[in-house]
Amino acid sequence: MIQLPALFGAALPLFASLTSAAAIEPRQTAAQVVRLSSIENIAVRSNGQVLATNMNSANLYAIDPVAKTSSTAISVTGASGLSGIGEYAPDVFAVIGGKGIYKVDFSGGTPKSSLIKTITEANNLNGLAVFDNSTVLVADAGKGSVYRFSVVTGEYSVVLTDATMAPSGGIPFGIDGIKYKDGTVWYTNIFKNSFHKVAVDEVTAKAKGAFTTLWTNLMGDDLCFGPNGKIYVATNSRNSLVEVDPTAAKPAPVSVGSVTGSTSCAFGRTEKDKNVAYVGAGAGVFAVTVKI
C-alpha cells in the first residue's frame, strides 16, 4: 500500500495502541539501493534484478542492486498503476493493474505484457500471492476478501472472506499484504494494525482451519518469506521491517531494520544477496541484511 502520511494521515493515531517497544527499535538503518517515488510492491528475478511497482504508474521498474541503477523494464499497456506482483513461472509474473491481472513475461528476453482478465466486481485489489504455477491469490482490500485466480484461463472466484480481512478507516481498506506457503495464507489488515493466518486447502485455497490473529498492535503492509524460514513484514508508517518466527507458540514481531515508509519486501536470489531483504518504500528501494 502506498505511503500513509500522504494519503491516510488521519489514520496515524491508530498507532497509539502499539505496546511492543521491541517491534519498533531497529537493529540497523537500511541502505538505499535506488531512489524512486512511492514504491508499492517488489519482486526479485532469478538473475538478481529487482522489479518494483507504483500504484500511480503503469511502469514496471527494473533495479540493478549491484550497480544501484534503475530503469523502466516495461510499461504495462492498459494499466494506470501497478500494485501486487508475483512470479508464478520462471521469469513470468502476475501483476495487479487496477482491476486487471496482467502477465509480464521476461522469459523471451524482451519483456512483454498482456491482460489476463479484469475482475470487474473488484473494489480495490492490492496484495497478490502465488498459489501454484497456474494460480494466484488476489486480495481485495475494499471488500475484505481473496480471489483465487487462474493465470491460464482467467477464471476466478472468492475463496476467503473473514472479519479479519474487512476494510475500516476513512478510506475503506482492509486486507493488504498476502502470501501463501505450505498450506497457509498469511495476511495483514493495514488499518486494523493486525497480522493473521489461515490454513487452506492446497487445491481449492478455501479455508480449512480457523482464521488466527497473531497481533493487533502493529501496522503491517506487505510481507515476504526469508531464506531462514522467518516471515518479514513491512510496517509502512511504523518505518521498519520486522521479523516473525512462524513456528513460535506466540509469534511476535522483532525489528530488523529501519526503513521510512516501508511497503513491501523480497529477498535476493543470488549467492551474494540471499540474506538481503530488498524493501520497497516511499523514497525508493532499500536493503536490509538479516541473519540466516
DSSP state of 103: E
Distance (Å, rounded) from C-alpha 29 to C-alpha 259?
Answer: 7
Q: What is the pLDDT of residue 8?
A: 39
CATH code at position 14: 2.120.10.30
Mean pLDDT score, 138-146: 98
Q: What is the pLDDT of residue 28?
A: 84
Share of the chain above pLDDT 70, in %: 91
The answer to whether residue 265 scores a pLDDT higher than 70 is yes
Summary mean pLDDT of the chain: 92
User: Long-range contact list for 151-158, CB < 8 A, 24+ apart?
Assistant: 151/88, 151/94, 151/101, 151/103, 151/116, 154/101, 154/116, 154/117, 156/117, 156/119
Range 25-50 burial, b when 16+ CB lie within 10 A, else e: ebbeebeebbebebbbbbbbbeebbb
Instruction: Encode pLDDT of 6-62 as tens digits.
Output: 443 333 333 333 334 344 455 688 999 999 999 999 999 999 999 999 999 999 999
* Number of domain units in the chain: 1
Higher-confidence position of 250 and 118 = 118
The answer to whether residue 109 scores a pLDDT higher than 70 is yes
Domain of 34?
4-289
Q: What is the pLDDT of residue 55?
A: 95
